[in-house]
Amino acid sequence: MKSPVVKRSIVIAGHKTSVSLEDAFWDALKEIAAQRKATLSDVVATIDSSRSQGNLSSAIRLFVLDHFRSSPLAEAVGAEARD
């Protein structure tokens, strides 16, 4: 059985590291990078430099979650749910 978690290598600030994420998070991270007109490595480097604790994979998951929770569509859906 294939694991839903995919391990990929990425270069962050000149250092190669590996990150394990589910495909949905990789896809979302690529989407965010495209929206920001940045590379995947640049977005991950920003996440890495701003995390205070925990591992990089967890920090990326939380970043992606926060990104989509704060999107205009998510805010509109949340407002409807509160009404």
Q: Do residues 30 and 66 lie in contact, with contact meaning Cβ atoms separated by under 8 Å? A: no
pLDDT at 75: 57
Distance, CA of 81 to CA of 54 (rounded, Å): 32
In the chain, what percentage of residues exceed pLDDT 90?
65
Which band of pLDDT confidence, cut at 50, 70 and 90, is reported for residue 66? very high
Residue of 4 and 29 predicted with greater confidence:
29
Give the pLDDT confidence score for residue 83 in this predicted structure: 57
pTM: 0.81
Q: Domain 5-82 belongs to what topology?
A: Ribbon-helix-helix fold (1.10.3990)
